[in-house]
Amino acid sequence: MNTEVGLTNVSLEDICREQGQPYYQLAAPKNIRRQVKSLKGVTEEPYITAPMYCGRVNNVVVFGKSYVCDTPGRAVFYHQSHRNYAPEDFVQYYTSEIANGGPHPSVKDECCFLGGFSGDTKFFGHFIFEYLYRLAAFDKCGLLAALPLAVYDTIPDGWLSFIELYGVPKERFIKVPQLPAPGFVKAWIASCPNSLSPNLGYTYWDEGILNVRQRLIENAGATVPTGPKRIYLGRRTAKHRKLVNEDAVWQYLSGLGFEYPEFENLSAAEQIRLVSGAEIVVIVPGSGSCITNFAPADCIILEFLPPHLVGGLGPRGFSTVIGQTYERVASRIAEGTGAAGLTNDLEVELPAVIAAVERAIELKTR
């Protein structure tokens, strides 16, 4: 593609209006002060609820995390907010996934498309907070019970079981590839309920999180707690971001009755039931830690995070919506794992772990 070709961005609302298609504003961004609970007490922080919208579009290609393309050279930005990327930022996406990615398979049935998420389809956490909660948007518009649901064909069956548990049978799935990007004759598109927006910061659609959380807990039969009270979510089988001194940490935690469950081969219902009785969850940060979204509202979450990781999407973000107590236990990058990034192995001081866990146990036994 010639990068000198003019590229324009329009909003989802604009293209729906141009095409005479329906468009819904489900939630407007709102600045509030949210109370956040930690082991040290309750604090407040600025908080922005996510703008949420859903519309139907005709004859489009949908790709990546953020774009719908209705005509060559034009992108509809629908993911994070109403902020539009500059055309020069769009060229890379357009070149790799649209101009050079065809021919695009076409879905002719009217459907809801859950949309893309970052990290390809490799990371469970992104599936949860960028993908799964769009179900609530389609549900609120009255679409989910009536239309098939388009999902990427690379999503593992275990992850798709969360969608089935919400109430969409797999017989209604339309599986589409990520590349070449799929085309749709008539598709409903929803924005992302949880995101890091360049101009808004971390945003969450509370209604979407709480709606999906409650329905999955009920459908999993997890309203009566059955799982262990103390859980450790480690990463001993992960390729990166391991805890290098995990043996010492686990020796301490196991002596206090913590369990170290393996979630990889469990269905959605089994995973949700497993965390249904958790009072304290200790986390090495990773995508699997998003399962804390289904832990009780009075659960205490302790997460090992180094200074360069913010952790706004995932357990901390969910806890601010659900009301869980969240505490960041400082860790550091392990020696020899390179410059600060997303894949560094970590090390945490055992005294810091002991202090946090003892305080959590004290709070739970008052």
**Which pLDDT score, from 0 to 100, does residue 247 have?**
95
**Which pLDDT score, from 0 to 100, does residue 236 have?**
87
**Which pLDDT score, from 0 to 100, does residue 264 have?**
81
Beta bridge partners of 124: none
**Which pLDDT score, from 0 to 100, does residue 148 have?**
97
**Run of H or E residues at 80:** none
Beta bridge partners of 280: 230, 300
**Which pLDDT score, from 0 to 100, does residue 78 have?**
47
Q: Tokens in use for 223?
A: 């309203």
**Which pLDDT score, from 0 to 100, does residue 91 have?**
57
Question: For 207, which DSSP code?
Answer: H
Instruction: Confirm if 331 and 347 have CB atoms less than 8 A apart.
Output: yes
**Which pLDDT score, from 0 to 100, does residue 50 have?**
82
276 vs 105: CA distance, rounded Å: 41
219 vs 136: CA distance, rounded Å: 15
User: In this structure, how many other beta carbons lie within 10 angstroms of the beta carbon of residue 199?
Assistant: 10
**Which pLDDT score, from 0 to 100, does residue 94 have?**
59
Exposure class string for 11-46: b at 16+ Cβ within 10 A, else e: bbbebbeebeeebbebbeeeeeeeebbebeeeeeee
Preceding omega of 315 cis (within 30 degrees of 0): no
**Which pLDDT score, from 0 to 100, does residue 33 have?**
87
How do residues 129-147 score in pLDDT, each as one tens digit? Answer: 888 999 999 999 999 999 9
Instruction: Confirm if 305 and 329 have CB atoms less than 8 A apart.
Output: yes
**Which pLDDT score, from 0 to 100, does residue 1 have?**
35
Question: Closest by alpha carbon to 38, among 300, 354, 229?
Answer: 300
Question: Closest by alpha carbon to 115, among 95, 89, 133?
Answer: 133
**Which pLDDT score, from 0 to 100, does residue 80 have?**
40
113 vs 222: CA distance, rounded Å: 28
Tokens 């970590």 correspond to: 346
**Which pLDDT score, from 0 to 100, does residue 202 have?**
78
**Which pLDDT score, from 0 to 100, does residue 118 have?**
56
Question: For 327, which DSSP code?
Answer: E
**Which pLDDT score, from 0 to 100, does residue 97 have?**
58
164 vs 168: CA distance, rounded Å: 5
Q: Which amino acid is at 300?
A: I
292 vs 80: CA distance, rounded Å: 23
344 vs 240: CA distance, rounded Å: 7
Tokens 């979510």 correspond to: 233
Query: Would you say the C-alpha torsion 148, 151, 153, 159 has a positive or negative sign?
Result: negative
Per-residue pLDDT for the chain (366 aa), expressed as one digit of tens each?
Answer: 334 344 566 678 888 999 999 999 999 888 888 888 999 999 988 888 888 889 999 988 876 655 677 776 566 654 443 333 444 555 565 566 555 556 677 899 999 998 766 555 678 888 888 889 999 999 999 999 999 999 988 888 999 999 999 999 999 999 998 777 788 999 998 887 877 766 667 788 999 999 999 999 999 999 998 889 999 999 988 888 899 999 999 999 999 999 999 888 889 999 999 999 999 999 998 878 889 999 999 999 999 988 887 767 788 888 989 999 999 998 999 888 888 887 889 999 999 999 999 999 999 998
Alpha helix ranges (H) inside 245-349: 246-254, 268-275, 315-322
Q: Which amino acid is at 94?
A: Y
User: In this structure, how many other beta carbons lie within 10 angstroms of the beta carbon of residue 50?
Assistant: 28
Structural domains in the chain, CATH included, are 8-215 (no CATH), 220-364 (3.40.50)
How do residues 214-234 score in pLDDT, each as one tens digit? Answer: 999 999 999 998 889 999 999
Q: At what angle do helices 206-219 and 315-322 cross, to 10 degrees?
A: 90
- 61, exposed or middle or buried, with CB in 10 Å at 0-12, 13-18, 19+? buried
Question: Closest by alpha carbon to 294, among 205, 225, 197?
Answer: 225
329 vs 348: CA distance, rounded Å: 8
